[in-house]
Structure formats: structure tokens, C-alpha cells
Structure 1
């Protein structure tokens, strides 16, 4: 954390409740063991908890249901806090019809064409939940599972370890997949996600996080004035059902060129066919760095009014940028304000959509004896 941010936090520690956060202001400036509270019960009686953790000026609330980040609270340039993550106030709302607000996504993030793929000569059929395709794992993906959660402290870092075992054949995927995801808040207020998984049979895996961000504050309106820089000279065009065609197309000369930075909404109303397919941007970007062993920075977002910013570093080769196109006024969030088109955006680090059906894409196959590992780090300013 910068010296100026530490000074700002200290100077404003007594008045942080004004932004709708808990009144225990000192928790924002220093880490402590994560706290658990009851959040609700599913129809079958399963208990769902909410965990609150804070460190380095960042505070999060995480649900055991879906690994959902219910809130992410950050200061603006004047030290005033706001929740910058879209979401609901009750478990019932998440269960009823959430568009993946804040959730952990698996077993396969993004889309698989017709819900079908072939692996080692065996064909597999997944449930269809996005028109003719499978989206984010199927009708009962990891976003709808209750995870085992354990808090931890590691030096000056605090966090949560989430575990889930997806049985052989769950949602049609082969192999029993044992998943561990660590959410860590560092002493500098960074949010790090470490994903690991092992399997009993060859399978496909693509895990990601589906937080909808609005750095001006949840429920504050549109995000089209947020300035995005994205290190990607290519992207994967899609067909009318948002399945990649297999082409890696250049962003140069298109609305998809964010290499030098521009407002999210600068070209959102362009007549480009890809924007018409997605009703905005809902596309995978091919990161210039490719897959890496350690996280490298690939994107930065700045919100001009509040001064808040977020940068993302990842080991993944792709990033799905979604400009909130399908928010249509059907949901009211934790602020009780309705979410409309463009009121939030997602930056989902990932392997490419429909990779099992595109041999030229980076492989998402995981085999017994191997370990799936990816890391993404969000840094806030």
C-alpha cells in the first residue's frame, strides 16, 4: 500500500460508516482473523455462512454458498468507503435467479457449444442452460454449491480456504474433481485468488471468479465512464450464440482495442457485428503474455469520479470482458437500487471459451496425477 493511502486510512478511520459499511472502522486498516456469521438456509436445511475479512484497507464479505463475494469495500480518493461489487442482501435472492453475482465458476467457466465435448474418444453431454449451449458449468455449477470454508492467517495476510469435491459425472463431467480456492487479502489490501484442483479421471477444468464491479459504488449507475486498459492485441470472435468461431482476430481498428486505454462505453454503441451479437462486449481477450507461471499484470481500470482503480495480474492466457449487457432492471442489489444495462462489468481471467472443441486453443484438459493451478491478483488504488 502506498504511503498516501496509509495516511488517508488513518485520517478517516473514524468516519467510514457513512458509506454503508460496518461501523468498526479500524478493521479496514489492519487484518484480523476472519469472522463468521449465519446468513441463511437452503431449502434442504443446509446452513450458509457469511465470512467477513479485512486487511490493508480492503474489506470483503464472502458466502459459503457459491464462494460468492457479496461485498468488496474500498476507499475513494477522500477515504470514503463504498461497496464496489454488485450483489444481493439475502440468500433467497441468490438462489432464485442470480446472474452469477460474485460467484466462483466451475467446473468449466464460460460456454461450451451445444454442451458437448469429446475427450480421449469418449463423448460427454452437459446440461444446456444458455440457449443451445452450456454456460459456467451447467444448471448446477460451482456457483450453486455450498463450499467448506476455513479461515487462515499467514504472516500479515488473512484469508479463506474454500473446498468442494465435484463428484464423477456431476453435470456430465468425468472424474471426481477436488477443488481448493484460497481467497487472500494481503497486508497491502490486494485480493489474491489461488485455484487448485485434482481429478480421478481425465476431465476439463476452467475456474474463474464472476464479480461484477462498479468502482463508483454498487448501485451508483453506469460504468461506461470507467477507463480500461487491456494488454490484448487479439480476441476470439463469436457466432450469434456467443460461441468462439476459432479465429484469433486482431483488435486493431475495432471497438475491442483497449491497449492504450479508453472508456468502457467509448465504442459500445458501434455497429460492429460482434457488439450486436453480445449486445455490447462479452468476449474473450487473448492476453499478450499467454500462460505464465507467475501472475503478470494484464488489465487496469480507473473510475474518474471516485479515483478508485483496480489492476489485475494473472497466470491465465485469457480474460473475458463483460460490460453488463444483460442487466435489464430485473434485479435490485444491496443498495435496493435496480441494476440496468451497463451498471457493472466483469473481468474474468480464464482459459478460452469452448476450448474442449478447439484443439488450437490452450488446453483445459486435466489428467489424474496432474494439478490444475492458476492465480489471479486484484490490486486496488
Structure 2
């Protein structure tokens, strides 16, 4: 196991860093203390060729100018909050409106857009980069001082573990995820439409025209949302289902997981032979297939375009504060938010 560090430029006069971890099999993961961004993951294909499988940039300035949350930790609350407002104990809190009249992904100064403290921990079998950040009371409109800890751990078994911990000094909302865009073809040789996906999920959330949950929970059975058996991503592009059309011809939906820590999510690219298996203790995963990816910029030298990458964001249900039948994202004083997701990389047999 090896780990090394280098400068990644400055934000508001503060120096940011890149950390690269490499295991004994050659797998590498690079991340930054700016937004806890995962900038690169190198894993082998079926021929043993190591290539990058995530979307990102080669310099900090491009992340600041262009990034649609590439590789970032998202918080305090992942997803959208309707009307950029919520109520706790009779008090109404007003958040930043950064997507029309709604609040998205923690606001402009969310966890993705701040510098975290970083510490390296290592032994013979694994390396951990531990990030910490104190989000002050009132940041982006949220109540409470929240102390966050995020750990990225690379093991010799080609596993990447992401662990989240949070505490607060007053009742608040906390629902954290990672927004990495994956493309298993390697070095973005192809888009993700021929990737195959399996999700152990019987139900998904219906969305409205603002991509907010309506509160209705729909069955996946006999729809393009049924990933209980392996399905190609392109099915969502071709689907006449109103929810696929609503999302921009693809997916941008939370799936309710039927199991946890039982290989409940599996993404594969048959041409490269790469497979990624995800296990989590979260109740859902948001599948976003890059339907809105566009702009006048390049991703590792490739012009950005729709379906260049996909996200599998393990998290609590979005906008749960406005839906009492959803699992709550309220964190109380004296409680600890804990969440863990494991990504295991292998090749097809």
C-alpha cells in the first residue's frame, strides 16, 4: 500500500491537496480535501489494463468553474428540498434557492464547495483519508453546528469504503452522499448506455416536473425501472414511461433498496469486463444517468455530453422532511449520523 500527496491549487487563499492511494494490486484512488472530491479511480479491465473509471478534471479551476458535483460529497442534504424551506418544531428555516425555487445538494456552499481538514491513516492492508469539517449554525440556512467526518478507505481487496459520521448541537437535517459519476469503459472510451445494472429494489419514487418526489411510491414491476434482473441503461432512453421522459430520457430516480450489505447494486460493462458492486446501509440509491450533462468543457480531454457517466448515490430519501411516510433525515442533539457504502471492483468471470 502506498499513499502520496501533492498541491491542487488555492481557493480563497487556502491551499488544497490531492491524495493518491494505491493498493498492492495496482488499483488507485485520488481525492481532494476540496469538497472531498474523488478525482480518479484506476481499476483493471479483463486484460489487466488499468484505466480511470470516473468523470473529473485535471485541475482545480475546472472543478470550480464547470463541475456538476463530479466526485463530491453532498450535504447537508442530498437532493432537492421543495421551496427551499422546511419546518422543525414549529420553526421555519429558509435555505438558499439554487435550483429555481428549490434548494439542491446543500446549496452553493454545500459540503462539495468547502475545504476539509485531512488526515492520512495507513497500515499494511488499507489506507484511509479522513476528512473533517465543522458546518456552522446558519450555513446555507440550516440550523445547528454540525461536525462532519468522512473517511475514504482503500483496501488490498480492491474495495473502496466511504464512511460518514455527523453530530449536531441542535436539531437539524442531515442526509449525505457521494456524487461520483462512473463510466466503466475506461478513460471514457464509450458512454454508459450499454452498461448493465442490477438493483435489488421493488419500488421507486415518482417525481414531479421539478424532479421532486410527489410522495407516491411506485412498483418497478413490468416497467423500465425494474433492475431486479440485469438491464441495460439504454432501456431508460428508449422507454415511453412518463417518468423516463420527465427525467430527460433516462433516470434521475430514488430506488428503495430491498436489502442492505448483500451486493444489492451491480454495475457492469461487458466490453471492458469491469464490474462494480455496491453495498450500503442506506435505504435508497438515486440512479442518475447523466441526462443533463452538457456544456462547453471537456472531461479528461473528452467533450462533455449526455450519458458520459452515471451516478449511484446511496442516501436517505430526498425531500423526506416534506413526506412523513419517508424515513426521517432529522438529526437530534446527542445523536450521531452514521452511514457506510462499499464499492467493490472486479472483472467478469
Asked whether the two chains share a fold, i.e. TM above 0.5, the reply is yes
Counterpart-to-counterpart distance in 2, 1:329 and 1:146: 26
Equivalence for 2:252? 282
CA deviation map 1:241-271 (0-9, x unaligned): 0000101110111111111111111232222
Counterpart-to-counterpart distance in 1, 2:236 and 2:143: 42
Counterpart-to-counterpart distance in 2, 1:171 and 1:35: 34
Q: Does 1:297 align with 2:266?
A: no
CA contact (8 A) 2:236 2:251 kept: no
Which deviates more from structure 2 when the two are superposed, residues 128-137 or residues 169-178? 128-137
Picking from 7, 22, 25, the partner of 1:54 is 22
Equivalence for 1:9? none
CA contact (8 A) 2:236 2:244 kept: no
Which deviates more from structure 2 when the two are superposed, residues 89-98 or residues 237-246? 89-98
Equivalence for 2:305? 340
More strand by share: 2
Picking from 318, 321, 326, the partner of 1:361 is 326
CA deviation map 1:81-125 (0-9, x unaligned): 110010011111111131000001111011111111111111111
CA contact (8 A) 2:134 2:146 kept: yes
Equivalence for 1:76? 45
Q: Does 1:159 align with 2:128?
A: yes
Equivalence for 2:117? 148
Counterpart-to-counterpart distance in 2, 1:177 and 1:123: 19
Q: Which consecutive segments of 4 or more residues in structure 1 shift more than 6 A? A: none
Structure 1 residue 329, shift from structure 2 partner: 4.3
Counterpart-to-counterpart distance in 1, 2:51 and 2:192: 15
Q: Does 1:311 align with 2:277?
A: yes
CA deviation map 1:39-94 (0-9, x unaligned): 1012x211011111011442011011100000000110001111001001111111
Matches within 5 A, 1:172-187: 172-187=141-156
CA contact (8 A) 2:204 2:256 kept: yes
Counterpart-to-counterpart distance in 2, 1:39 and 1:153: 22
Tell me the SS of whatever aligns to 1:288. coil
Structure 1 residue 380, shift from structure 2 partner: 0.3
Tell me the SS of whatever aligns to 2:112. helix
Equivalence for 2:234? 265
CA contact (8 A) 1:195 1:374 kept: yes
Counterpart-to-counterpart distance in 2, 1:156 and 1:330: 42
CA contact (8 A) 1:318 1:350 kept: yes
Structure 1 residue 297, shift from structure 2 partner: 2.3
How many pairs are equivalent? 344
Tell me the SS of whatever aligns to 1:379. strand
Equivalence for 1:168? 137
Structure 1 residue 133, shift from structure 2 partner: 1.2
Structure 1 residue 233, shift from structure 2 partner: 0.5
Q: TM-score, normalised by structure 2?
A: 0.96
